[in-house]
Amino acid sequence: MRIEQELKLGFKDVLFRPKRSTLKSRSQVNLTRDFTFKHSGRQWSGVPVIAANMDSVATFDMAAALAEHNVMTAVHKHYSVDDWKTFIDGADSKTLNNVMVSTGTSESDFKKTQDIMAMTDEIIFICVDIANGYSEHLVEYVTKVRAAFPDKVISAGNVVTGDMVEELILAGADIVKVGIGPGSVCTTRVKTGVGYPQLSAIIECADAAHGLGGRIIGDGGCACAGDVSKAFGGGADFVMLGGMLAGHEESGGETVEKEGKTFMKFYGMSSESAMAKHSGGVAKYRAAEGKTVLIPFRGSVHETISDILGGVRSTCTYVGAARLKELTKRTTFIRVQEQENNVYGKE
């Protein structure tokens, strides 16, 4: 047994130190990033926020709505090939350009990804996603997907340490997805005791990925726009959001009426709800590692995403970053033991 003594940080442990700046207004801040990806050589330009591949978040409707803001959606993996065909036939180029096709690592997942990618050249992202990215099986699968799709942008995860980021990039991933345990409906830390505070995971994994010309997605744990900024400040190239985008018209959750108010069901992809819906229940050998919650219905996602991006722009003005790309260079985090003042309750 070993103990690492260095304290690892979550979003709640830091704040940005403000810096002198010549920026007068948040309208002067450009959140668009231009990436050329390591293996595929593909280019993408947009606002690097991604709706998480959960079936009560990342629907086709969400993809169309967020694309209007140049924001991406990792469409969940439970649509059929026929559903994809209908979507692709009706979607504009901008939407398709901002979509990731999510997949697990089974033979049938591979076949399905092939079928979907064969329908259009306009989708360039594949998101290979398993809860425990430390499995050798993921590395082998990424190698196989890279060989089959040499010119597609491949994201793989989830992991939280630099060694595994490097291994996945060397196996063919352009982007590595980072986060184990921080999610709003995740119970992995309670059920297994495994995890890594998300800000430290981002800082360490970004360093490892950038050294090899790869990119990372900070996935999970953002509860407010300030957290999204902190993820970017820590070095995340992309930030993935589940809970912050759940509960909207476009999220595809089931609505529930309770005491005259409308709520929407939101659940983890390893929760009992998700397993009952997609795999006929929780298998005997495993425990559910996600929970189901009801969140107040929030209407259309447009206002929410504008609010989030407005917050990130504002962070940039406080630290003097004219472009999102500069945010991490302009970031000094201070360690804190307080966040917001809740004397009148939470936002």
Catalogue the active-site residues: 186
Tokens 């399905």 belong to residue? 112
Of residues 133, 172, 218, 243, which one binds ligand 5GP by CB under 6 A?
243
Q: Is 195 annotated as a binding residue?
A: no
Q: CA angle, corner 122, sides to 247 and 45, nearest 5?
A: 70
Q: Quick one: how many helices (H) and strands (E) in the chain?
A: 12, 14
**Closest separation in Å from C-beta 50 to ligand 5GP:** 9
Contact between 52 and ligand 5GP per CB under 6 A:
yes
Q: Is 91 annotated as a binding residue?
A: no
Q: CA angle, corner 142, sides to 158 and 40, nearest 5?
A: 105
Choose the binding region for ligand 5GP from 16-24, 164-172, 266-274, 298-306 (rule: CB under 6 A): 266-274
Cβ–Cβ under 8 Å, residues 47 and 306: no
Contact between 229 and ligand 5GP per CB under 6 A:
no
Of residues 67, 91, 138, 222, which one binds ligand 5GP by CB under 6 A?
222
Rounded to whole angstroms, the Cα distance separating 85 from 106 reads: 21
**Closest separation in Å from C-beta 303 to ligand 5GP:** 18
Q: How many residues bind ligand 5GP (CB under 6 A)?
A: 25
User: Which residues inside 113-172 make contact with ligand 5GP, applying CB under 6 A?
Assistant: 131, 158
Q: Is 233 annotated as a binding residue?
A: yes
Number of CB atoms found within 10 A of residue 310's CB? 14
Q: What is the 3-state secondary structure (H, E, C) of 284-327?
A: CCCCCCECEEEEECCCCHHHHHHHHHHHHHHHHHHHCCCEHHHH
Binding mask 267-296 for ligand 5GP (x = CB under 6 A): -xxxx-----------------xx------
Q: Is 114 annotated as a binding residue?
A: yes
> Residue 127: beta bridge partners?
102, 155
Tokens 């350009």 belong to residue? 97
Q: Is 60 annotated as a binding residue?
A: no
**Closest separation in Å from C-beta 160 to ligand 5GP:** 11
Binding mask 295-334 for ligand 5GP (x = CB under 6 A): ----------------------------------------
Q: Is 111 annotated as a binding residue?
A: yes
Choose the binding region for ligand 5GP from 39-47, 77-85, 218-226, 228-236 (rule: CB under 6 A): 218-226
Do strands 33-36 and 43-51 pair parallel, antiparallel, or not at all (unpaired)?
A: antiparallel
DSSP 74-142: EE-TTS-HHHHHHHHHH--HHHHHTEEEEE-SSHHHHHHHHHHHTT-SS--EEEEE-S-TT-HHHHHHH
Choose the binding region for ligand 5GP from 21-29, 264-272, 310-318, 321-329 (rule: CB under 6 A): 264-272
**Closest separation in Å from C-beta 17 to ligand 5GP:** 25
Tokens (6 digits) for 18: 């403000």
Q: Is 83 annotated as a binding residue?
A: no
**Closest separation in Å from C-beta 279 to ligand 5GP:** 12
Rounded to whole angstroms, the Cα distance separating 232 from 324 reads: 8
Contact between 240 and ligand 5GP per CB under 6 A:
yes
For residues 92 and 254, which CB has a smaller minimum distance to ligand 5GP in the complex? 254
Exposed/middle/buried for residue 272 (C-beta within 10 Å: 0-12, 13-18, 19+): middle
- Residues at the annotated binding site for NADP(+)? 108-131, 216-239
Interface residue list for ligand 5GP (CB under 6 A):
52, 54, 131, 158, 179, 183-186, 188, 219-222, 240-244, 268-271, 289-290
